[in-house]
Chains A and B, each alone.
Chain A
Amino acid sequence: MRNLWIFITKYNAFFLFLIFEISSLLIYIKYNSFQKASFINSTSQVTGTLYGQVDALKGYLSLKETNDSLARENAKLRGQLKVSFYVDSVDKRKVNDTVYKQQYSYIVAKVINNSFNKRSNYITIDRGSRDGIQKDMGVITGAGVVGQVIQVTDHLAIIQSVLHKNTRFSAMLAGTKDIGSFVWGNDLDPHKGLLIDIQNNAQPKVGDSVVTSGYSLFPTGIPFGKITNLHAKGGGLLINVEVALAVDFTKLQYVYVVNNKFAGEQTGLEAVQNKNE
């Protein structure tokens, strides 16, 4: 027993190393496999407030760009207003339209923490469950798709960005409606993604837009980006193409969280179907 004790104290550095290394690896692996709300992340009180304060300062530096992008978006939305269309018929009457029912609504949020140079990137925003944000909602900007909400607290939420090794969204070619999956490439480039598993008979061209398919979180037609290279590596029987991302993840300021009012209904229905099979 005494010899054991001498042995341990003699090589104490190594045993301490083992203890701490094993415990930290346990933390790492546990968090990785479950993506659970853990006490150590930026939604926790201290880091959340610090990030918020620093971001409030940094917001002033990019006022011009934010203004520009908002102005552009306003112009685009203004173009969709009823008043900007010429009414062709002389006979005017008011129709109370009951055909359309709102399916998507949008919650605006400010990005308070963002990363884009790691293998798995996350974005923290300053809106949470009190503002109506729930897990698994889609997130977009005026330019295109940003990601998916994975964790929510009362005032903050974490988004798994498109720049993440597990990100996989249903996407299609805007012109021909051929369906594929959108993923991030392996080379950590924050401006480039991949559209994979397109059927063989599709004929994508350089410059084609890649947009959301409307099968899951997002409305149809939100852009991912434009095709830049038809011969991405891999693929085999199916076609893979490279896509230049429409959103500049290095300069995110404001995002919209998409609330799909039928999402609960859809997942519930599909879950029942899967159970029946």
Chain B
Amino acid sequence: MNKRDWRPYKTKMSRTILINLLRFIVLVFIQVFLLKNITFYNLATPYFYILFILLLPFEVPNVLLFVLSFVLGLTIDAFYDTPGLHASACVVLALVRVLFISITVQKDGFDNEPEPTLSIMGFRWFFTYALILTLFHHFFLLNLEVFSFSEIQYTLSRVVLSSLFTVFLILISGLLFFRRKERK
């Protein structure tokens, strides 16, 4: 990268950081003060905050990705009074994200596609991405919370229904911030 490109690159980067910081705060607030109180028949509880990890840019280094997931998890834990629970689920989520992206996205495509959003990546890819990551996260989270195999059937139904709820919210938010001109 030569000197001429440096400045726009830098402003673009600080913009990305700002957007992600805002997204972090807003998502934590939504999760803690709104979604924490929502549950259907004690089965479906949304954990919408994972959208932050889903939407981090493709080029974020692995170290930063894991640190951010860990911090996000601990922040949620602080409000839920469950130190370590959400953090460990988020770290699992980060690993699944790295694997999923390395399998489905070609490395040289990063310049055109900075962030894995619905409007950039298209519905089919984004839906699969959100569904698989959410299922892994919820499976780990809810099983760790209950911590026993005797209620496994009930826990699994909670996992599936909560995942559907979360994915639904994620897709809604994706459509809400849909920008048509970015779509190729």
Contacts and interface: CB of A to CB of B under 8 A. Distances in A.
A and B: real partners? yes
Interface of A: 12-14, 16-17, 19-21, 23-32, 38, 40-42, 44, 46-47, 51, 54, 115, 117-119, 122, 158, 186-190
B85 to A, nearest CB: 5
Given A187-B154, A190-B42, A29 B78 contact: no
A24 B88 contact: yes
Interface of B: 33, 36, 39, 42, 45, 62-63, 66-67, 69-70, 73-74, 77-85, 87-88, 91-92, 94-95, 98-99, 144-147, 151, 154
A117 B81 contact: no
Nearest to B73: A24
Contacts, number: 92
Given A24-B91, A28-B144, A188-B42, A122 B81 contact: yes
Nearest to B89: A24
A16 B99 CA distance: 13
B71 to A, nearest CB: 10
Contacts of A42: 78-79, 81
A44 B45 CA distance: 25
A16 B87 contact: no
Greatest chain B CB density within 10 A among A42, A118, A190 is at A118
A40 B77 contact: yes
Given A28-B88, A28-B144, A14 B95 contact: yes
B87 A27 contact: yes
A190 B83 CA distance: 23
A43 to B, nearest CB: 9
Contacts of A14: 95
Nearest to B150: A186
A50 B60 CA distance: 31
Contacts of B145: 118-119
Given A20-B70, A115-B36, 6 more contacts: A17-B92, A28-B82, A41-B83, A117-B42, A117-B45, A189-B42
A186 B77 CA distance: 23
B62 A27 contact: no
A26 B62 contact: no
Contacts of B79: 42, 47, 51
B91 A47 contact: no
A26 B82 CA distance: 12
A130 B1 CA distance: 62
Nearest to A117: B39
Greatest chain A CB density within 10 A among B62, B81, B83, B98 is at B81
Contact of B78 (A30, A47, A119): A47
A21 B88 contact: yes
A38 B70 CA distance: 17
Nearest to B62: A13
A17 B42 contact: no
B133 to A, nearest CB: 14
9 contacts: A13-B99, A20-B69, A23-B70, A28-B83, A28-B87, A29-B84, A44-B78, A117-B45, A188-B42
A139 B71 CA distance: 34
Contacts of A122: 81
A32 B145 CA distance: 10
Contact of B83 (A20, A27, A117): A27
Given A16-B62, A17-B95, A117-B45, A24 B81 contact: no
B83 A38 contact: yes
